Amino acid sequence: MTAFDMFISSLAGIPTLPGARCRGKHHLFDAAAPGEDAATISALHNQALALCSRCRAKSRCEEWFSSLPPKDRPSGVVAGKIRTSPVGRPRKSTTTEKELTQ
């Protein structure tokens, strides 16, 4: 399978969420890339969390996220929570989802 085939295959699993407030704003929701400034990522994620808090598609987003095998779950902001990467994939922040919801 080519890299392009893998990319197309991964897109097939992305749900259509009518009314989702994240549409066109993926840069706010993405996980930190290596070398990105932690304060910048925090500011972007706070904007994403604010959008999620008012999103009518949030429950469908959470259902989609929960339906994925843990290894396939995206990191970053999803369904109003900051999600960490699966074990074995590097991440700039070590804050866990549990710590953020307490």
pLDDT score of 6: 58
Averaged over 76-84, what is the pLDDT?
Answer: 94
> Can you give the pTM of this predicted structure?
0.69
List the structure tokens of 67.
């339906």
Looking at per-residue pLDDT, the higher value among 16 and 11 belongs to 16
Let me know: does 90 contact 56? Beta carbons within 8 Å.
no
pLDDT score of 46: 97
Which amino acid is present at 27? Answer: H
pLDDT score of 91: 45
Per-residue DSSP letters for 6-34?
A: HHHHHHHTSPP-TT-TTTT-HHHHBPPPT
pLDDT score of 10: 56
pLDDT higher than threshold 50 for residue 32: yes
